[in-house]
Amino acid sequence: MSLVGPRPQVIYYTKQYKGEFKLILSVKPGLTDLATLYFMDMDRVLGSKNVDEKYATEVEPIKNSLRLKYVKEQNFLLDIRILVETAFSLVGIKNLTRLNIKP
């Protein structure tokens, strides 16, 4: 496992990867990634009703798009920016490095 890379996903979801999304599995997983930053407030996003369904239909597709984006665009500078942004997000400072995080 590395510091930056697509966060590991459970087998249930990885078995559903099709086409280019299988590229996600070609990169060493990490502790943080673009999807981690995008969904830093996961509890608020999911709410309290139909959590599993909402995750599967709304959250997982966005996470996969962001994981694939990382795989295609990965470089040392992006890794540093993700690490810095993650550190600052954990203490409540957001968008410090102006990462363009769009699925």
pLDDT tens for each residue of 57-90: 999 999 999 999 999 999 999 999 999 999 988 8
Report the alpha-carbon distance of residue 78 to residue 63 in Å, rounded. 17
DSSP state of 50: S
pTM of the predicted model as reported, rounded to 2 decimal places: 0.86
Cα angle 97, 62, 45 (rounded to 5 degrees) comes to 85
Nearest Cα residue to 62 out of 33, 91, 90, 85: 33
**DSSP secondary structure, 75-100, as one string:** -HHHHHHHHHHHHHHHTT---SS---
